Amino acid sequence: MRDAYHEELDALTDKLVEMTRLVRSGISRATTALLDSDLHLAESVISQDDEVNRLFAEIEASIFDLMARQQPVAVDLRMVITALRMGSDLERMGDLAEHVAKITRLRHPDSAIPAELRSTILEMGQIAERLVTKAGSCIASHDVESAMELEADDDAMDQLHRRLFRVLLAKDSKWAVEQAIDVTLIGRYYERYADHAVRVARDVVYLVTGSRPDMSAL
Amino acid sequence: MRDAYHEELDALTDKLVEMTRLVRSGISRATTALLDSDLHLAESVISQDDEVNRLFAEIEASIFDLMARQQPVAVDLRMVITALRMGSDLERMGDLAEHVAKITRLRHPDSAIPAELRSTILEMGQIAERLVTKAGSCIASHDVESAMELEADDDAMDQLHRRLFRVLLAKDSKWAVEQAIDVTLIGRYYERYADHAVRVARDVVYLVTGSRPDMSAL
Residues of chain B falling short of pLDDT 70: 1-2, 213-218
Q: What is the rounded average pLDDT of the residues A196-209? A: 94
Average pLDDT over chain B, rounded to an integer: 93
Residues in chain B: 218
Over residues B32-58, the pLDDT tens digits come to 999 999 999 999 999 999 999 999 999
Q: What is the rounded average pLDDT of the residues A149-168? A: 95
Contacts of A207 (CB under 8 A, 6+ apart): A75, A78, A79, A82, A142
Over residues A77-122, the pLDDT tens digits come to 889 999 999 999 999 999 999 999 999 999 999 999 999 999 999 9
Q: Rounded to 5 degrees, what angle do the CA atoms B87, B90, A75 make?
A: 25
Average pLDDT over chain A, rounded to an integer: 93
Contact in structure between A213 and A202 (CB atoms under 8 Å): yes
Chain B: closest CA distance from residue A148 (Å) = 21
Rounded distance between C-alpha atoms, residue A127 and residue B107, angstroms: 30
Q: Where are the domains of chain A?
A: 4-209
Query: Which value does ipTM take for this structure?
Result: 0.93
CATH topology of domain A4-209: Methane Monooxygenase Hydroxylase; Chain G, domain 1 (1.20.58)
For residue A131, pLDDT over 80 is answered with yes
Label residue A215 by pLDDT band (50, 70, 90).
low
For residue A197, pLDDT over 80 is answered with yes
Over residues A159-183, the pLDDT tens digits come to 999 999 999 999 777 889 999 999 9
Contact in structure between B201 and B134 (CB atoms under 8 Å): yes
Contact in structure between B187 and B124 (CB atoms under 8 Å): yes
Chain B: closest CA distance from residue A70 (Å) = 10
Greatest Cα pair distance, chain A, in angstroms, is: 67
Q: What is the rounded average pLDDT of the residues A186-215? A: 91
For residue A3, pLDDT over 90 is answered with no
* Chain B residues near residue A67 by CB distance under 8 angstroms: 77, 81
Q: Distance between alpha carbon A100 and the CA centroid of its chain, in Å?
A: 12
* Chain A residues near residue B91 by CB distance under 8 angstroms: 216
Q: What is the CA radius of gyration of chain B?
A: 19
Q: What is the pLDDT of residue A186?
A: 98
